[in-house]
């Protein structure tokens, strides 16, 4: 595993599909003088605000739309090729709304972090905040995990709890989760880039 301890900052590629506020937090923190990583590109499945944010930051961006490929496998292979071309050490899925397939994980398994707006294994999938509200939980939160072939089943790296307020809507709760999510994601990415994530099966230890 490459780490900035070897000298050069780690190369990070962002995956995002939406507003890109989490991606922006990673971009903003990468500007720090002692930051152990630098963002080298952003790849998306759709033209979205996250792509615009990366373009505004002068980054390389690529959009790989499922509709432009005959099937999911072809899309996954095209995504893999695009990300490979950016020569990442780490990949960060920050609001990326597609399931990464066999080709991608065959190339990058162990080096893909995802941030999820719930305390996994509760409420996996594309609608975690809505599902947590509907269930009536009083505490939810966010999880940063390594990505595996399952949906939000990869080893948990870090979590942070967020109280659900009685008058919360999906939007108000999600915005409060994102506040802590942004900080957690940057902290974990910095640790990963410094080679401080130690994976033993499903257990992840930070040194």
Ligand X SMILES: Nc1nc2c(c(=O)[nH]1)N[C@@H](CN(C=O)c1ccc(C(=O)N[C@@H](CCC(=O)O)C(=O)O)cc1)CN2
Specify the length of the chain in residues: 207
Active site residue 116: yes
**Has 113 been labeled as part of a binding site?**
no
List residues bridging with 205 in a β-sheet: 198
Indicate whether 126 belongs to the interface with ligand GAR (CB under 6 A): yes
- Please report how close the Cβ of residue 23 comes to ligand GAR at its closest, in angstroms: 6
Count CB-CB contacts under 10 A for residue 173.
20
The footprint of ligand X on this chain (CB under 6 A) covers a number of residues equal to 15
Q: How many angstroms separate the CA atoms of 64 and 15, rounded?
A: 11
Q: Which of 48, 100, 197, 204 binds ligand X (CB under 6 A)?
A: 100
Place of tokens 């939810």: 140
Asked if omega into 121 is within 30° of 0 (cis), the reply is yes
Among ligand GAR, ligand X, none, what binds residue 23 when CB lies within 5 to 8 Å by partner kind?
ligand GAR
Q: How deeply is 203 buried, as exposed, middle or buried, from its count of CB atoms within 10 A (0-12, 13-18, 19+)? A: exposed
Q: Which of 4, 93, 111, 173 binds ligand X (CB under 6 A)?
A: 93
**Has 53 been labeled as part of a binding site?**
no
Indicate whether 168 belongs to the interface with ligand GAR (CB under 6 A): no
**Has 197 been labeled as part of a binding site?**
no
SS3 string, 105-145, reads HHHHCCCEEEEECCCCCCCCCCCHHHHHHHHCCCEEEEEEE
Indicate whether 44 belongs to the interface with ligand X (CB under 6 A): no
Q: Which of 10, 15, 22, 204 binds ligand GAR (CB under 6 A)?
A: 22
Contact partners, residue 92, CB within 8 Å, separation at least 6: 12, 13, 14, 15, 23, 26, 112, 113, 114, 115, 185, 189
Q: How many angstroms separate the CA atoms of 23 and 87, rounded?
A: 18
- Please report how close the Cβ of residue 182 comes to ligand GAR at its closest, in angstroms: 8
Judged by CB under 6 A, the chain residues 66 through 95 that form the site for ligand GAR are 94-95
Of the residues 47, 69, 116, 174, which is catalytic? 116
**Has 114 been labeled as part of a binding site?**
yes
The footprint of ligand GAR on this chain (CB under 6 A) covers a number of residues equal to 15
- Please report how close the Cβ of residue 128 comes to ligand GAR at its closest, in angstroms: 6
**Has 194 been labeled as part of a binding site?**
no
Q: Which residues bind ligand GAR (CB under 6 A)?
A: 18-23, 94-95, 115-117, 126, 128, 178, 181
Instruction: Give binding residues as ranges.
Output: 72, 97-100, 114
């Amino acid at each position: 595993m490459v780490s900035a301890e070897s000298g050069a900052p780690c190369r990070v590629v962002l995956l995002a599909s939406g507003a890109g506020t989490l991606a922006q937090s990673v971009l903003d923190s990468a500007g720090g003088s002692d930051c152990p990583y630098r963002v080298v590109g952003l790849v998306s499945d759709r033209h979205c605000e996250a792509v615009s944010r990366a373009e505004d930051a002068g980054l390389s961006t690529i959009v790989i739309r499922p509709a432009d490929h005959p099937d999911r496998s072809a899309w996954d292979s095209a995504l893999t090729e695009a990300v490979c071309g950016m020569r990442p050490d780490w990949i960060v899925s920050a609001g990326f709304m597609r399931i990464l397939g066999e080709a991608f994980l065959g190339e990058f398994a162990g080096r893909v972090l995802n941030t999820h707006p719930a305390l996994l294994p509760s409420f996996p999938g594309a609608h975690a905040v809505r599902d947590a509200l509907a269930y009536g939980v009083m505490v939810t939160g966010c999880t940063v995990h390594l990505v595996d072939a399952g949906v939000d089943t990869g080893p948990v790296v870090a979590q942070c709890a967020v109280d659900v307020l009685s008058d919360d809507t999906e939007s108000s709760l999600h915005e409060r989760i994102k506040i802590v999510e942004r900080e957690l994601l940057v902290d974990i990415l910095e640790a990963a880039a410094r080679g401080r994530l130690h994976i033993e099966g499903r257990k992840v230890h930070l040194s």
